[in-house]
Structure 1
Amino acid sequence: MSERPIFIVGCPRSGTTLLQLMLHAHPRVAVPPETRILVQVYRARRGYGDLRETKNRRMLARKIAKGSRTQFGDLGIDADEFIRRAVEGPGSLGSVVGLVYKMFAERHGKVRWGDKRPPYIRHLDAILAMFPDAQIVHLIRDGRDCVASLKEMPWFQGDVYEAVHRWAEAIDAGRGHKLPADSYYELRYEELCADPAGSLGGLCTFLGEEYDPAMREPYRVADVVPEHKDWHTNTRQPVTTTRTGSWAQRLEPWEVSLCETVLGNRLTAYGYELSGAPAATRRDVAAYEKTSNTWKRKWRRVALTERINRFREPGPVAALLTDTQRELAGIVR
């Protein structure tokens, strides 16, 4: 049976928490609440030195378990035990990071782990550097619903132009991937809600797992989501289609026009029908393009830095926690 790590990605407010819980309800798979560990550790990897050295693994493990803002505490893992096992474990960045999720899975009696964080869609290179055997699941929702929902989130600091860009960015990142068919899978939120069994059956085939009916009742494992994240309260209820298409009541007419003008080709490519709203004003389109270009420039700078950093790796990056990962690294036992 597969031990490949699973990563759920997408635009924020695409239903990724719902999918997280559906997978977490599977008897073999554990998917924790969001953390701020994986990408942050990867981007700071040069500061931890060669992780084949015990002292460096201890330093990194302590940073993960006891540092600020990692959200390690939400996982229910004993910090000291994690540090001990990281020190005794394989000497690579992915091995120390992967141990976090492996221990979360063990805590729930599972043998396979996943991770969910929508912005991972921008960081597939980092994920694949640490976990070359990863399977990426991209959940896609109507961009107009995502924009409407983002506007209502207490943690979203952007405006409607940024919300529109977030969806376009996620779609373009998914389209631009160069992963093999057994490593990347797209799933529509609307189909997941309307036919959970059928959608999850297809997903399980991709993952190499047997479908389990418990996955249709994600609310039964919703206690894994921290209660203070009250914007996820809908996940504590049975799966429903009531939020599908709710953008029609939640967006202003000019916002619908903006979405359909700048996202129209992407929306129709994924089977979403346009409402026929009038074209957005040049002013609104220009404001969107300014926001979008600002973010694109930022991520281009980050990508350039990462390309340079890959030539200066202080030690092994790829995880060495499973037989498959060791085989990919050329380690024969």
Structure 2
Amino acid sequence: MRRTFIVGCPRSGTTIVQAMLARHPEVATLPETAFFEHLYGELHWRWRDHGVPHRRRRAVEMGFARRHGRHVLQQLQGRLGGGDVAVPLRLAGCIERFVGLLDDYAAAGGHSMWIEKTPNHLLYIPEIERHVPDARFVHVIRDGLDVVASIADANLHYDDNHGFGGGAKLWAQRWNRATNLHGRQVGKPNHHFVFLDDFVADTPREWRRLCEALALDPGAPLAEACARPIADLADEPWKRHAIQGNLRAPQSKAHTLFGPGLLDWLSQRLVSIEPLRQRCREADNDDAPASPGGFSPPRAKASVRAAPRTTGPV
């Protein structure tokens, strides 16, 4: 079983990349689990939010899972048919159970790969690699100004949005932090980078690169739309246009939402993605010519698969 994590700063395009991959016949996926985020905690400190101290968690240092992380695993186990088996107490056991549940879920549907997409798992890559050494990562990167504006727009339009508050200053700092974390993984063979603007501008080429990085057949017939539930629109209505897996150019909201003063401040504070893009291109060393025409991969009829009843490892 091939195991893949999609990561990135929130509102960078991770959902549309997940939904496009979910149309591939070899891929199984599911809604965000935030599993490692809940298992290890320290989200605000890992983002390096201003004034947030590092709290030592002796239980975690000794290898014990946080209570909330175990609760999240218990819920996931119930959704994926793992039964009422007791959740392990230790981190390693919880992660083994998590991987086993997703392995069984994918295998029961006849898939050779599962994809878990939680943007904040970018902050937990060392822990994931330690416990899932064969994991692959897809990093989705979008221009910082567009990310901050998209977050501000979601915060304005949706109540109970679970984490888009904090303002432009906080999210500019977080986006810079995400760019730094992406950069640490450049050149590693199990890490692939998708720049959203490149994906939109030349989808055939970027789709081929993505599939080849994940050892997927880029010419396999795709479903007309993503038929698997990858988001709960009651809780995440801002994902409505992304979950079908049909790529379209995102609209920048920055000049509509932000005045000249804030735009100027952001232009000075947000790091450019161009050095990171150049490093990725050099590491990738892909000089293949771009494919002509629009994105028109082979099509297969969409099908809806019910979540199988499986049993995860004890």
Query: Does the Cα contact within 8 Å between 1:65 and 1:79 map onto a contact in 2?
Result: no
Give the corresponding residue for 1:258.
265
- 1:148 & 1:195 partners in 2: Cα distance? 24
Classify 1:47/1:249 alpha carbon distance in 2 versus 1 (closer, same or farther; 3 Å).
closer
Deviation of the 1:220 alpha carbon: 3.0
Cα deviation, 1:62-120, whole Å, max 9, x if unaligned, reads 74443xxx6x28x8412417x38x88xxx844321212322332353312212111111
Deviation of the 1:40 alpha carbon: 2.5
Query: Does the Cα contact within 8 Å between 1:45 and 1:93 map onto a contact in 2?
Result: no
Which of structure 1's runs of 4+ aligned residues deviate more than 6 A? Answer: 47-51, 59-62
- 1:248 & 1:271 partners in 2: Cα distance? 24
Q: Tell me, yes or no, if structure 1 residue 40 matches structure 2 residue 29.
A: no
Classify 1:129/1:39 alpha carbon distance in 2 versus 1 (closer, same or farther; 3 Å).
farther
Q: Kindly report which structure 2 residues correspond to 1:233-312, keeping only aligned pairs within 5 A, or say none.
A: 233-236=240-243, 239-264=246-271, 266-269=272-275
Within the candidate set 165, 175, 181, 1:167 is matched to 175
- 1:181 & 1:101 partners in 2: Cα distance? 24
Deviation of the 1:140 alpha carbon: 0.5
- 1:45 & 1:208 partners in 2: Cα distance? 40
Equivalent AA in structure 2 for residue 78 of structure 1? G
Give the corresponding residue for 1:110.
111
Deviation of the 1:188 alpha carbon: 0.7
What number of residue pairs does the alignment pair up?
Answer: 252
SS in 1 for 2:5: strand
Classify 1:212/1:42 alpha carbon distance in 2 versus 1 (closer, same or farther; 3 Å).
farther
- 2:252 & 2:22 partners in 1: Cα distance? 26
Question: Gaps (5+ residues) in structure 1?
Answer: 273-320, 322-333
Classify 1:107/1:242 alpha carbon distance in 2 versus 1 (closer, same or farther; 3 Å).
same
Give the corresponding residue for 1:133.
134
Query: Does the Cα contact within 8 Å between 2:230 and 2:243 map onto a contact in 1?
Result: no
Query: Does the Cα contact within 8 Å between 1:138 and 1:186 map onto a contact in 2?
Result: yes
Cα deviation, 1:131-187, whole Å, max 9, x if unaligned, reads 11111111111111100111122331211101111211110111123x653111111
Classify 1:247/1:103 alpha carbon distance in 2 versus 1 (closer, same or farther; 3 Å).
farther
Query: Does the Cα contact within 8 Å between 1:38 and 1:97 map onto a contact in 2?
Result: no
Classify 1:256/1:108 alpha carbon distance in 2 versus 1 (closer, same or farther; 3 Å).
farther
> Which region of structure 1 is more displaced relative to structure 2, 23-32 or 232-241?
232-241
Give the corresponding residue for 2:101.
100
Query: Does the Cα contact within 8 Å between 2:199 and 2:207 map onto a contact in 1?
Result: yes
Q: Tell me, yes or no, if structure 1 residue 223 matches structure 2 residue 223.
A: no
- 1:101 & 1:197 partners in 2: Cα distance? 29
Tell me the TM-score normalized by structure 2. 0.68
Query: Does the Cα contact within 8 Å between 1:25 and 1:215 map onto a contact in 2?
Result: yes
- 2:189 & 2:276 partners in 1: Cα distance? 21
Classify 1:167/1:65 alpha carbon distance in 2 versus 1 (closer, same or farther; 3 Å).
closer
Query: Does the Cα contact within 8 Å between 1:135 and 1:184 map onto a contact in 2?
Result: yes
- 2:126 & 2:112 partners in 1: Cα distance? 25
Classify 1:23/1:184 alpha carbon distance in 2 versus 1 (closer, same or farther; 3 Å).
same
Equivalent AA in structure 1 for residue 265 of structure 2? L
Cα deviation, 1:242-274, whole Å, max 9, x if unaligned, reads 42444333332223212211125x2343579xx
Classify 1:197/1:46 alpha carbon distance in 2 versus 1 (closer, same or farther; 3 Å).
farther
Equivalent AA in structure 2 for residue 143 of structure 1? G
Equivalent AA in structure 2 for residue 80 of structure 1? G
Give the corresponding residue for 2:14.
16
Give the corresponding residue for 1:5.
3
- 1:14 & 1:216 partners in 2: Cα distance? 24
Q: Tell me, yes or no, if structure 1 residue 27 matches structure 2 residue 30.
A: no
- 2:3 & 2:149 partners in 1: Cα distance? 31
Tell me the TM-score normalized by structure 1. 0.65
Classify 1:213/1:230 alpha carbon distance in 2 versus 1 (closer, same or farther; 3 Å).
farther
The structure with the larger Rg is 1
Question: Gaps (5+ residues) in structure 2?
Answer: 42-56, 155-160, 279-312
Within the candidate set 74, 78, 81, 2:81 is matched to 78
Give the corresponding residue for 1:314.
none
- 1:190 & 1:216 partners in 2: Cα distance? 23
Equivalent AA in structure 2 for residue 171 of structure 1? T
- 1:23 & 1:167 partners in 2: Cα distance? 24
